[in-house]
Amino acid sequence: MHDPSMAEARRLFDRRRRPTSPFDALFPGGRRCRPRRADERRGPYFVDRFHPVTLGMVVTLLGLTLLDGILTLELIEVNSEEANPIMAHLLRRGSLTFLMGKYLMTAAGLPFLVLYQHYPLFRSRFRVGWLIPVFIAMYLVLLFHQWSLFQIGRPRAAHHRLTANAHVDGASGPRPPETPVRIVRAS
């Protein structure tokens, strides 16, 4: 009934002697998805495995970041301006640099949010991991706002192109003054 070799093996290595590190999630192996006891789940804790929903939210957030970048580039074409000075600097360096910088800045922060997802924020019940769905919701609101700005700015830009082409083609009459549509947004 009692195996002495098993007791000897337990004395040699006890995995419970070393607490789980936040960096254990980066290595293969491990079985802890959450602490077994409810008391341990109330405080901050780290896990070896993450729920697949977490991966889905991370991929969604990265996709929304790229979509935001693409819509920003389209809004720039419709005579908008980038309000974020860091993004405006990257935009001056080129579209690809802008998209890569936007993506990398988002991707650099996500591992910290995932590793510390069970950490209480400001000593409250609000956990760090709950910020990911909040960021997704904020991106969805931003994308809706960008889309509405794009719909507003697109007809005016088409009208300016038509009137400019008419004057180039030799249309008579005074040329109307061009008034650029300024749509300012922060990313």
Tokens standing for 132?
Answer: 């990911």
Spatial distance between the Cα atoms of 53 and 50, rounded to a whole number of angstroms: 8
- What tens digit of pLDDT does each residue of 166-184 get? 555 555 555 555 555 555 5
Please tell me the predicted confidence (pLDDT) of residue 167.
52
Spatial distance between the Cα atoms of 162 and 179, rounded to a whole number of angstroms: 14
* Residue 2 in this model has a pLDDT that exceeds 70: no
- Residue 35 zone, left/alpha/beta (φ > 0; ψ -120 to 50; rest): beta
Burial (CB count within 10 angstroms: exposed 0-12, middle 13-18, buried 19+), residue 163: middle
Q: How far is CA 51 from CA 37, 135, 154, 170, 183, in A?
A: 18, 18, 42, 65, 40
DSSP state of 123: T
- What tens digit of pLDDT does each residue of 38-80 get? 665 556 655 656 777 888 999 999 999 999 999 999 999 888 8
